Each structure stands twice: as structure tokens, then as C-alpha cells.
Amino acid sequence: MERLQKIYLAYRIWLEDAKMNKNIIISVVLGVLILISVVQLVQLNSLKEKSGTVSVPVASQSSSSSSSSGGNKPVPGNLNNLPDMVGGC
């Protein structure tokens, strides 16, 4: 019976240590995530300062489409009546 009590006591001590280690690991991971967030915030601010105002050209949609190579080839007549979106939202 005494041996069983010693084993139980050792188990309880180990369990308390495991809880402490788990809390330490969670705290370290949380600290690393916060540090990564701060680093990304600094990087984002430096990019915004470097870029200033960036104008992105927006292409207007026309009734004729261009090919993937960028050329303005004439579209065959049977393709002119296709809907803009097929089977999507």
C-alpha cells in the first residue's frame, strides 16, 4: 500500500509539472505570435511610406476580348454573344 501511495504522489507531482510546462509553452507561443504581428506591422508601415500613393491602372471592359498574348485580334462572330460570366456568382 505504501508503494502505491508513493507512485500516486509521484504521479501528482508529475501532473503539476506537466501543467506548469503546458502553461509556459502556451505563453511562449503567444509571445512569439505577438512578436510576429509587431514585425509585420512595422514592415507594412515601411512599405506604405516607401510607396506613397500608388495608382493602379484599371482596364475598362469592352465588348471585344483580347487574347492572352495581349494582341487585339478580331473575335469570331460566334463568340460575340457569349455571356460575361459562365456558371459563377
pTM: 0.42
Q: What is the pLDDT of residue 66?
A: 47
Distance CA 73, CA 61 (A): 16
How many C-beta atoms surround the C-beta of residue 47 within 10 A? 9
Q: Is the predicted pLDDT of residue 89 greater than 70, yes or no? A: no
Q: What is the pLDDT of residue 67?
A: 47
Distance CA 68, CA 74 (A): 13
Q: What is the pLDDT of residue 85?
A: 60
Which grid cell is 73? 485580334
Render pLDDT for 21-50 as a digit per residue (tens, 0 to 9). Answer: 788 888 999 999 999 999 999 999 888 888
Distance CA 63, CA 75 (A): 10
Secondary structure of residue 21 in the 3-state scheme: helix
Q: What is the pLDDT of residue 33?
A: 97
